Every structure is written in structure tokens, then in C-alpha cells.
Amino acid sequence: MILKKLLPHTFVGQIILLTVLPLFFAVGLSLQFFYDRHWEETGRQFARTLANQIVLIVKDTQETPTKDYPTLFKKYGKTFGFGIKFYEEAPIAFSPQHDFQTHHFRHFVRDEVPFPIFTYLKDKNMTIYAVMHHGILEIATPLSQIYQSTIHIFFAWVAGSFFLLLLLIAPFVYGQIRSLKRLTKAARHFGRGEDVPFRPSGAKEIYQAGQAFLLMRSRIKQFVDSRTQMLAAVSHDLRTPLTRMRLTLEMMGTSKNTSEIKQDIADMEKMINSYLSFARDEVKESFERMTLEAIIIDLIRDFRHQKARISVERIPSLVLRARYMDLKRALTNLIKNALHHGKKKVIVSFKKKHKSLEIIIDDDGVGIPEGQRHKMLQPFQRMDESRSKTDEGVGLGLTIAYNVIHSHAGQLKLETSPLRGLRVVVILPL
């Protein structure tokens, strides 16, 4: 469970992890093998050889008279390539050294020489001080005597190979991730009602997923278009017999029975108009950038005759990407419902969050019981309570608004208003 939390959650992160980890372990094992089998063993051999040479020089120095030191040092300097000096007093203050390059040498020479040995590194040279009873022996030698500088070349080769493999893998991984992102973008836009161009690409599995998405999108569009056309056709065809019935009633004169039938015909015409309005809602316009202030001012202008009942709080300066007429129509339906069912006032307020905007519409009517709120978002649903006794609609206002907001990748929530009526919360992404 803990490992699952530590692993990256994105596809990109997982691909990178699966690519880098094996390479990292392979390089680590190569370095470990080289260190154990070659570099470490070679370093030990060089250090042991230098330690034996130092031991030989120290022993001969102890057994040779002081006056013959120059001849002895010249001989060993020529033989081993050392620079050798003798001091009766310490030329510097000695302190223990812990550098990595000379640790093997210090280990071997400590076992062979009965005197303290100090090593100091400067640039690419090493100076060795052997503290004997009668003085200090200084031996200068190149660091290459005990330390293989080719290790840097090996490290560079391994690191270069590692990054070269990453560079070779990166274009392939990027291509697959780009194909997935395109598919995700197309699916997201289609979910919002946008028909953006999309062409499958990538590996076989990703390509097949893209083809499946195109087939699914085509079938869904065909289904929606068929349903919309059928609803529009049926509603349109019903107008002909209704018109004929109205003309027949007009010729029959006025009576109690004909008045009731005329009212029924009028109600049916209102229902047909609502069905046609619902069908038109399925025909989507294109998305465009707009300011929130522009759409709200335009919306409130349509309710100028009821301006006294509507209170609009300060409008944030925000830019939205939406279908202008669709969004305006949805908000119009919501405000119209609030005015129709409210008693005295309707309040429109706004809340800007990190990645979303909330448009809140409060009324002081009787509200909708919590258990029926989800039902009221479905088509052709009406309440039998006091909230809908005077309602002349057919139960499509909230449904149309819900569909429009949902097509904008937003949410529509019904809550209890602080005014004791209904609160409608429209959440739109920014």
C-alpha cells in the first residue's frame, strides 16, 4: 500500500520509472563489477607495490650513514622516479589524512613500516612523510603510481551510455504519450459537445483505442441527431391537426365545451413549443471566449421589466470559454424559474475558486424538497406541490439548463437557499 502511494500516478511518470530504473540498476551493476574485478584490484596492486618501495627506501635509509644519503636518494629517485629528501625536523605539522585515493596505500604501508606514515595530496602529486627516530623522510611521487585515472574515463563512458539510451528511448516514449494526450483531449472536448479533429496514432494498442473512440463518437452523434430529428418532426407534425381542430372549433361558435377544448389545444401547443425548444437545444454552437460581465449584463437586460426583484452582486472580471447563446439560455431559464416561483426577490451572486466559477441564484419561494431535487433535473418532470401550481411549463427548464451546463464540463446543483427557497449553483470550469 505504501509502495503504491510512492509510485507515480501519471502514465508519463510510470513510463519514465520503468525506463530509468532498469538502466540505473544495469549501470550500477556494471560499476560494481568493474570496481570489484578491475579497479579495486588494480588499485590494491599499485598500492602494494608503492608500499614495498617505500619500505625498501626507509630500511636502506636507516642502515645508511647520513653522509651517504644524497647518493642513496639519487639512486632510488632514478630507479623509482621519486623525489626524496631528509629533514631532521618536521617541515610541516602532520595530521591524519582520509582521502579516498591513498587509502589502500596507507593500509599496506602501515603493516610494513614501523614508523608513522603521513600522505598529502596536491594536484596530481602525492608527498609521503615517514617519521623515523632520527628524522623525517620525504618522498614525492606522482599520484598515478597508486591511483588509476582511467576510472574517470570509465565513469564518463558509463554515464554517457546511460544518457544516450535515454535519448534513444525518449522520442518513442514521447510519441506514445503524445498520442494518448491527443486521445484524451478529443474525448474531453467531445464530452463537452465539441467536435474537434482527431486522427489515431501511436503504437498498435493506442491506435486501436483511437479508432474505437472515433467509432463510438460517430455512433453517439448519430443517435443524438436521430433522436433530435424525431422529436422535432413529431412536434412539427402535431401542429397540423391542432390547427385543423382550432379552425373547426372557431366555426362551431362559443360554448362551455368548446372553450374547454380550446384551452386544451392551447396547452398542447405550449407543450409542442417546449418540445421543439428542447430539440433545438441539441444543436450546439461553437465555443468562444467571452467575459462573464458581458453575458451577465446581457442576461439581466432581458429582465429589465423585473429589475426591482433581481439583485446582482459584483461581477468578477473573468474570461470564460463557452457557447454564448447556450449559456445565456441556461441562465435565463434558471432566473426565470426563480422569478416565477420566488415571492419578492432573486439574488445572483458569484464565487471564484481555484479552477472554477460558481454562479449562485437564490429565490425566496417554497423550494424543492431534497428528495425530489435529482428527479427535477430529468426531462418533463413537474412538482405537484405549491411551487408548480401556477407553472405553465412542461418541466424542461431545469433539464435544458442542466444539459447546457453539463455540456460545458460544469455542474448544476440544487440546494436550500438562505432565503428559504431554492438555491441553484452553476459550476463552470475556468
Q: Where are the beta strands (DSSP E) in 33-182?
A: 83-87, 117-122, 125-131, 136-142
Q: What is the pLDDT of residues 308-341, one digit of tens each?
A: 889 999 999 898 888 888 888 889 989 988 988 8
List beta partners, residue 319: 291
- Distance from C-alpha of 1 to C-alpha of 12, rounded to nearest angstrom: 21
Q: Which residue has the cell 511518470?
A: 13
Q: Tell me what pLDDT residue 37 has.
A: 61
Task: Write down how long the chain is.
Answer: 430
Predicted TM-score (pTM) above 0.85: no
Torsion of CA 126, 130, 136, 139, to 10 degrees: -30
Please measure the distance between the N-terminal and C-terminal CA atoms of the chain and give it in whole angstroms: 35
User: What are the residue boundaries of the structural domains of the chain, listed by start?
Assistant: 8-148, 288-429
Q: Tell me what pLDDT residue 387 has.
A: 44
Q: What is the pLDDT of residues 366-413, one digit of tens each?
A: 888 888 888 888 766 665 444 444 455 556 778 888 888 888 888 999
Mean pLDDT computed over every residue of the chain = 79
Residue 144 cell numbers, joined? 598515478
Q: Tell me what pLDDT residue 147 has.
A: 62
Residue-wise DSSP of 264-300: HHHHHHHHHHHHHHHHHTTS----EEEEHHHHHHHHH
pLDDT in tens, the chain (430 residues): 566 677 777 776 777 777 777 777 777 777 667 665 666 667 677 777 877 888 888 888 888 888 888 888 888 888 888 888 888 888 887 777 666 666 666 666 666 667 788 878 777 788 888 888 888 888 888 877 666 656 667 677 777 877 887 788 778 888 888 888 889 888 887 877 677 888 888 888 888 999 998 999 888 888 877 777 776 677 667 777 777 777 777 777 676 677 777 777 777 776 677 666 666 655 566 788 899 999 999 888 888 888 888 999 999 989 888 888 888 888 998 998 898 888 888 999 999 988 889 999 999 988 888 888 888 887 666 654 444 444 555 567 788 888 888 888 889 999 999 998 999 999 998 8
CATH architecture of 8-148: 2-Layer Sandwich (3.30)
Q: Tell me what pLDDT residue 383 has.
A: 59
Q: C-alpha distances in angstroms, 156 versus 31, 34, 161? A: 11, 14, 8
- CATH number for 288-429 (one of 3.40.605.10, 3.30.565.10, 1.10.1060.10, 3.40.630.190): it is 3.30.565.10
Q: Tell me what pLDDT residue 276 has.
A: 66
Residue 374 cell numbers, joined? 435529482
- Distance from C-alpha of 299 to C-alpha of 287, rounded to nearest angstrom: 18
